[in-house]
Structure formats: structure tokens, C-alpha cells
Structure 1
Amino acid sequence: MMAGEMLVIEVPASTANLGPGFDSIGLALNLYLRLEVTTHDQWEVIPLSEGLMTFPTDERNYIIQVAMQTAKKYNQECPPCRLTVSSDIPIARGLGSSAAAIVAGIELADTLCDLRLTKQQKLEWATEIEGHPDNVGASLLGGLLIGSQTDDGVDALSLYHLQVDFVVCIPTSELLTKKSRQVLPTELSYKQAVHAGAIGNVFIASLISGDYEQAGKMMMKDLYHQPYRKEIVPELEGVEKVAMANGALGVALSGAGPTILCLARDGEGQKLATLLSAGLHGMKVVPLQMDLIGSRIYKENSSKIKSDVM
């Protein structure tokens, strides 16, 4: 990046699991983490959003740490920059705020150090940092991501043609993923695993075929995590009742929670959000759309930098 030039990096939020797709399904949503990047003599972060004010404003900032780790991985060193950071993504609410930061850090290093990483390289590195591909994959690639992480790497496919709306119900309280994972069982029986996998298979087949009513039904039959997390997200049961009574197709925890994701018929998201706002208290209700692009980088003149190839 040349002196006097500004880059803008935007990364969408994400919801994960969508019920039975535990640690393997993610969906990009149109809330964004935004970085304005300029050269500087030292690392500096200027937070513009209230939720970002508690994070370090120097090189200890997580985005910068990821960028420095990424550069080091490829035997490079990131030049210091000033980052002006804003975000629509609530922190610790199950909407992929940490995954967006990881993707932003990787994109920052890729640009500053001219690494020219492919999307697949970015996906595999982001997954190594995060531990699973769902949130980071959706934020990186956009759309609905179905991914698998094995010793051989990360295999992922994205879908971009879902004809549905989404509504999120965001509680005021935070819930750290670590705490939410502590309530999960260490193992399932063979019979339970087969049953849980079958539900996930039907869920994906329903989305691909456009049978969104069936997809919504499968969202609520998850056996991997939602039965256990209900005890620490008491809002889930209340949202399920109100949402399903007002035309929602399905309801699921967003990631580890506490945000709750509602599936709505195409064009009915705003209507459902209005009804939910009237029927729920102490929660922020937001109608959203699927982001189709994923992370993107612009020059100061807003012309998009040529995207890399998978």
C-alpha cells in the first residue's frame, strides 16, 4: 500500500449451525465489520463503534495480531498502519464477531504484504485459527457455507440462491462461546449420531431443493447442541413460540447463542420482525438478508481490487 492511499476492508457477520449443522454450516449476513487502513509509523486502532471501545488500540488488537501471524506464516512482516474500525456486529452474541476479525486480519496481511493468497488458502488458515470453518468460511466467501475440517484440510461449498429472509433476535446479555460449549456432551451414542446426521442431511437437501418449510422443520429438530444450550439461553423457547405463531418457518440458535435466528418466507422478514418486536421484550429484533459477496477490499476511490481466484 502506497503512502497516502487508503484501503477499506469489509467483512460480513455470520450465523452458524442453523440448527443441525453444528460446526459445519455458516451463513453470511448483511452486518459488517469495516476497516479503513492507512499507512502510519506505528500500529494504531481508532474504534468508532461503542462495542469496540474496550479492545486494545495498539498492536495487541486481535485484528492486528491475526494480520501479524498471517504475515509471519509466509515469512513476511506487516508494515504498521492506522486502522479506523467500525462494526454493526454485536460482540459475543453468536453473530461471528471474532470470525469477522480473523478474516479482516488475514485480508489485511494479504494486502499489506502482497501475499496473493487464494480463497482456499485464506479459508484453511482462518479455519486453523478459529477451529471450525462455518463462521470464517461464510464471512470470507459469502452465502451459505457447508464445510468440513479434517487432517487433510478444509473442504467447503457455498450456496448463493436461497429465497428466504432472516430475522435475528439479539438479547442484551453476552454469552461467550467457551461457556456455551461447556454444556455440551462429550460424546453421542452411535444411534444418536446417525439420527442427528440424518436431520442435518435433510436440512441441506431442503435448502438446495427450495423446500424451506421442511428446512425450518429440520432446524428445530437438531440433536447436536440446542437441547443442551436451551438451559443457558432461556430466551430460545419464548422466541420459538412467538415466531412460529407469527409465520416463521423455523427458529434456531445463532452459533453458540444467545442470538436467535428465525427463518422467514421470502419477502416476509420485515413483517415477522415487526411482529416479534411487539411480542418480545428486552431483545433487539433485526431483519437481515444473506450477504452474497463475503469479505471485500476497496481502494480509496471505492473501485474494487481485483479479487483472487479460488
Structure 2
Amino acid sequence: MISVRVPATSANLGPAFDAVGLALSLGTRISLDISPEPVVEVHGEGARMIPQGPEHPAYRAARFVAEMADEAELHFHLVQHNDIPPSRGLGGSAAALVGGAVAANDLLGRALAAPDLLNLVCELDGHPDNAAPALLGGLVIGTLTPEGIKSVRLEPEGLRAAVAVPDFTVSTTAARRALPEKVPHRDAVFNVGRSGLLLGALATGEYHLLRVAMQDRLHQPYRAHLIPGLEEVIEAALEAGAYGASLSGSGPTIIAFVPEEVAVRVASAMRAAFGKRGVEARAWALEVDLAGARVEPPGEVGSPVLEPVP
């Protein structure tokens, strides 16, 4: 059985809508073997919310890889041990999808080259902002083109992330429906300028610019009604010493970029701000995951579950 560890991801970072994703040190583990019939087991965080049949995203990805390797008749036994809160804007589905694809590719003798595997997982997920960093690790800026994904990978140094995860979900469908068909030109210009500043700050280490660079007018204002406490939690993160903060994905998780020495303090402040709005939340102080999806040696125990900060 092949076992693959895949990181959680945060996308839609402030103004960089559907273009930028960051891998985080919270993850899921997908184990895969050939089986006479489809078998899917899910354990851990949110197991009841994750499909436990062939519609599981990791299983679907494994089947796509098998078909591309001319092994369309194969079935799999898939086991997921999950630490990523599902439907919270932390890329859980993309992580599972990537894990299934990587595990199947390794199981079948690495039939797909790395660029083909990257294109496959991004196409299956629909966009690269979660799937690409889940596969590659680090911070990935990417876009899908007719010729495949075009991307740049960065490794931000000395940066940590604090995330606050409330105890309710926001469906991707509802989050997308909240967005308008058209936006004012001035708001588009606002986001374009800050997207450039965001990437420049992350590439150069000038993290003090993130307070401005993570401001957004294209999706957070339209989704705020879905997330009680959004503005208060972001403000609490900034007051506690965060460089900048924004929604993670379509929410409801909120992510803050922080110096290492204040990561726990910021995470606790974000959780407390949710509490003031009557919302229970968990919070983590996380590292940027630079490894991405990796095959674990046989018998190796997966990464320990990270405990939320108090």
C-alpha cells in the first residue's frame, strides 16, 4: 500500500482571487492499494462529511491516473486519515484529490511525469490555487491555459500562518453565489494593485507591506454576511501583531500571516474574536509546508496531529 501525506492549503489570499495558494502544515494522509473492488475508508477530522465511496475525490483522481496509465479496469482500496477541517476553506478536497493522484501514480510505476501530474490535479480541481500548492508545497501563483498550468513557486522565509476555524461551514456553491456578476472598475483596479504588492512582499520578505497588500474588494465584502465576525477577527489578528489577514479560500476560516514569535498569540486572539460574536472556533499556529505531497516510507507513522492553540 502506498501512503501519501498532503498539506492543507489556503487560497484567495486577500486580493489574489483564484490565483495564489499557500501550503500549510496541517494535512491529510491517503493510502492506496489495488483491490478487487472499490473500498473507501475515511478516519479522523470530519469523516462523516467526506464521501466514503468511489465519489471520494482521492478515489476519483486515482481512477483518472489509472485510465491515463492504460489501467482503466483497476479498482482500489483507499484509506484516508484526515486532519483538515472539511468545508472550511483549507483545501481539504484538493488535498485528497492530490493524494489520490500521487498515490496511484506511484503505485503504477510513476506512469505520469511531474508536469502531467500537476496539470491533471489542477484540471480535476478546476483551478490551481489549492491543487498546485498541495502538490508542490510553498506558495504557488498559477493559472490554467490551453497548454496547461503556468505557475511560479516561492518559498517565503521566516513566515508563519495563524488560522481560526469556526465551527460552521460555508459551501463553495453559496460562496460563489454571493459574488456579483460585475464589479466596479475602481474595485478591480484596487485588487490588481494589491495583488502585485502581495506577491512582491512575499517574494522579497517585505512582510510589513502585507497589511495593505491583503486588502480585498472583490470577494470578502460580498461573503462577509456568510461569516459572522469576519472583520472583527481580521482586526484582532492585526492588533495582535499579524502582518496581514484575510479569508482563507471561500471561508469561513480566516488566515493571518505572522512573525513566528507572535503566531500563537495571533491565533488565540482570532479565536477569541470569533467567541465575542458567539462563534466557537479552533485556531492553529502553522508553518508553511515546503514539501508538498510526499510518499511516506512503508510503515512510517504520519505527521502528528497538531493541537489547536488555547
Which shifted more, 33-42 or 225-234? Answer: 33-42
What is the CA distance between 1:54 and its match in structure 2?
A: 4.4
**Contact preservation (8 Å) 1:277, 1:284:** yes
**Contact preservation (8 Å) 1:213, 1:249:** yes
Hey, what does 2:305 align to over in structure 1? none
Query: Is residue 2:39 matched to residue 1:44?
Result: yes
Between the aligned partners of 1:153 and 1:39, the Cα distance in structure 2 is 29
Aligned partner (choices 246, 258, 265) of residue 259 of structure 2: 265
For residues 227-246 of structure 1, the aligned pairs below 5 Å read: 227-246=221-240
Between the aligned partners of 2:47 and 2:213, the Cα distance in structure 1 is 36
Hey, what does 2:176 align to over in structure 1? 181
**Contact preservation (8 Å) 1:246, 1:275:** yes
What is the CA distance between 1:189 and its match in structure 2?
A: 4.5
Cα 1:196–1:54, aligned 2, differ >3 Å: closer, same or farther? closer
**Contact preservation (8 Å) 1:78, 1:113:** no
**Contact preservation (8 Å) 2:240, 2:265:** no
Between the aligned partners of 1:50 and 1:163, the Cα distance in structure 2 is 29
Aligned partner (choices 214, 217, 223) of residue 223 of structure 1: 217
Aligned partner (choices 263, 277, 288) of residue 290 of structure 1: 288
Between the aligned partners of 1:237 and 1:111, the Cα distance in structure 2 is 44
Query: Is residue 2:111 matched to residue 1:116?
Result: yes
Q: Secondary structure at the match of 1:187?
A: coil
Query: Is residue 2:196 matched to residue 1:201?
Result: yes
What is the CA distance between 1:31 and its match in structure 2?
A: 0.9
Between the aligned partners of 1:38 and 1:205, the Cα distance in structure 2 is 43
Q: Number of aligned pairs?
A: 297
Which shifted more, 264-273 or 124-133? Answer: 264-273
What is the CA distance between 1:216 and its match in structure 2?
A: 2.7
Q: Please tell me the root mean square deviation across aligned C-alpha atoms, in Å.
A: 2.0
AA aligned opposite 2:47 = L
What is the CA distance between 1:43 and its match in structure 2?
A: 2.2
Q: Secondary structure at the match of 1:63?
A: helix
CA deviations 1:34-71 (Å, max 9, x no partner) are 02334433221222215123444343333212211232
Cα 1:194–1:170, aligned 2, differ >3 Å: closer, same or farther? same
Hey, what does 1:299 align to over in structure 2? 297
Cα 1:205–1:56, aligned 2, differ >3 Å: closer, same or farther? closer
Aligned partner (choices 100, 104, 107) of residue 102 of structure 2: 107
Aligned partner (choices 79, 86, 107) of residue 81 of structure 2: 86
Unaligned 5+ runs, structure 2:
302-310
Unaligned 5+ runs, structure 1:
1-5, 304-310
Query: Is residue 2:142 matched to residue 1:147?
Result: yes
CA deviations 1:116-173 (Å, max 9, x no partner) are 3233212211121111111000100000111122223211111113322111110111
Which shifted more, 46-55 or 159-168? Answer: 46-55
What is the CA distance between 1:14 and its match in structure 2?
A: 0.1
For residues 26-37 of structure 1, the aligned pairs below 5 Å read: 26-37=21-32
